[in-house]
Structure 1
Amino acid sequence: MRKLRVFPLLVIMSLLLFQGHYKATSYFDPTPVKTFTDSKYWAKVELLRDSNPNIGQEKFITDNQQKDPEIIKEFNNNPQPNSQYFLLHYAPGWDTGTKPYPVILVHGAGSDANFFADPKRDGSITGLMQYLSQRGYKVFAVTFAHPHGDNYIQREILADVIQKVKAVTGASKVDIVAHSKGNMSARMYVSNVKESWGVDFGKDVRRYIQLGAPNGGIDFTFRNPNMAWGIMTTGGFGPVPYTYMLIYGLWYNTTYHSIYTEGGAYPGQLQMLARWDSVYPLNTTQQDWYTTYYGGWGFASYSYGINYAIKEGGNLVNTLQNSPVDPSVEIAVLAGDYNYINGVPWETTGPSDGLVFVKSATDTSAMTKSGAKLLAKDVYHLNHLELAYDKSAMDWIDAQLSK
């Protein structure tokens, strides 16, 4: 009888010990699936894979699939790659740079690593990659499979990238420079926000540089409904807040292009949402402004509303605001307050870089609660894109990395 009483107790103790020491399995294979040495910008590009079964094929629509011919080729000629795959880009000088810490560049929504090499996509200017490489930094960049993908997945991919970069450089830590949505995966990693199957933060990030980060979230899609008609009539890559729209006098089911999980092609956009209507009033001159934000039928649209969308996205912004950055990480933040992009005023209801409110990008209070050091928090008169390639911004980035 004594053995029968002791056995369950031993089992329970064993389970508790196992639970306390549980560590997610890494499925990342650092051996490249393919290596490309004919890149227009990079010394080489590797196609890599994380075979974690929790990562799979995310939904694409034609408007938000990969567009750059070089990127498509490197994804095995697939403009809609499985999210287990990603590209690691090696800048010239990645193996000869004199700076002690390698730098990883993380792109934003609707973009890829080539943005850091050819920001305007016309060869008119060089980008942050060349700028840092010429100054002795060992520069790398990631291209995620899905330009608007789930941030929990992209967080795991970023962890893989860090592991690989450490292995090829011999460095114990890396520096991260993230632009726009790329800050979601970066911030999640250094704050150890993850799914149960995700790998733990490895305390392997020395410095985390934010460019136009949606720290307090964004409500751009719901706040600027006029943009939705532009997207639907031009084949733009952004999500719309509607499931039905009146376009050229006809009603269309636009669920497939919507931000909601019912559409399914913009999961990462859902996760960046937060309400700002209590801070900045909505623009009442925009089409269906009230029903777009709060839900319902308007004159030319139907929206579930921002609250519904935030809930569908798991209110990730709120989670991050309650998840400090690991105290081993140093942070620098750059925001923009010029809201003209390509000569057009975008976000006009409050000070912004055209997409992200200045107050959102500079909301750092949650990040430093556990002791992470804030090196700098500055606002430049730049728009959301210029934060990653204007000379003044690149000089600022160099200064933060060099401290």
Structure 2
Amino acid sequence: MDNKEEKNYLVKCDSSLPDNHKLDEQISKHSEKKSSSTEEVDSSSNQKLSLVTQIKTHSQGKRYYCDLCEASYSRKANLMIHIRSHSGEEKTYLCEICGSSFSHKSSLVKHTRIHTGEKPYMCDFCHSSFALRANLVVHKRTHTGVKPYSCEQCGSSFNHRSHKTRHMRTHTGEKPYSCEICRVSFSEKTNLTVHLRRHNGLKPYVCNVCSCTFADMSNLTVHMRTHTGLKPYSCGVCGFCFLQKSHLMAHMKTHKREKLFTCEVCSSCFCQKSKLDAHMQMHALEDKKYSKLDAHMQIHTDEDKKYSKLDTHMQIHAEEDKYSCNVCKSSFPTWSNFVLHMQEHRVEKQYSCVLCNISFDYESEFNVHMGTHE
């Protein structure tokens, strides 16, 4: 029972000491006092004396008290060190290279690896190395497929806790990172960092081919594909490839629509009859499209039609009204002009932005618009 009482007082003593080293010294004092008492008195007297000695140890010589937790110290310096533990300023381990300070020696050891480049933790699968063991644990999940963090709302799984935290904001709508300049909020800190570069004009990412600069690394990655021709996003239905994932997602919606109008010539399908009509005209005019070589060979094969340059020019005037619009009766000399004109009569535009519902006639215009959302 006396041992239990001594343990309780030691716990109280521990709460008033700044570190474990001081605690060990205090415990040694208790042991020495208890040992000397044993030699002088019997067992019953020894137990009482040990308790009295402890009480004196806690009550004497402690003139400095912490106002926050009532801990007491015999030296003012120890009290000042203790107060730092409340304010979070107790950082006794200093980096000799950059001057950074840390509360624990282990934190200093990890920090020092930034300067030395030491990476003692190696992956057994791919031999990648890491400075921190925690980073190695997360990396190994890419090999094992383990995803221990699951979303309680939709069941999605993640291999890192921070990934789940970011995902949960898609359900809650939380945007904890706010721009102090324009008050726009973001769910991820990296998005805020990129946004701030728009205010200060900083573009740290440079293309090594054409020297174009970008505020975001992802924009540089997409830009580099214009040089390499890489289109990593492929449609699983028709095999068409795209530079950006957003373009593929917009394209996939065209496959989800019900296509009721089928071309009898080539079996192509269309969502609108107007698109089928325009397509059928292309088949009707296929035999009338000659390349320069075809036109030249026609001169040799048709002996009765020998056209000079003037004759060829006059033929343009003869065919000025060749392509007529069946909607407004306008006429056009070339097929390309006629096709552009027919686009103006279309009720539904083909390329629609899934983010802001703006529609476009041409894919080039749509691609330029999608770039504004990145």
Q: Normalising by structure 1, report the TM-score.
A: 0.20
In terms of fraction of residues, the more strand-rich structure is 1
Higher relative contact order (CA 8 A, sep 6+): 1
Larger CA Rg, structure 1 vs 2: 2
In terms of fraction of residues, the more helix-rich structure is 2
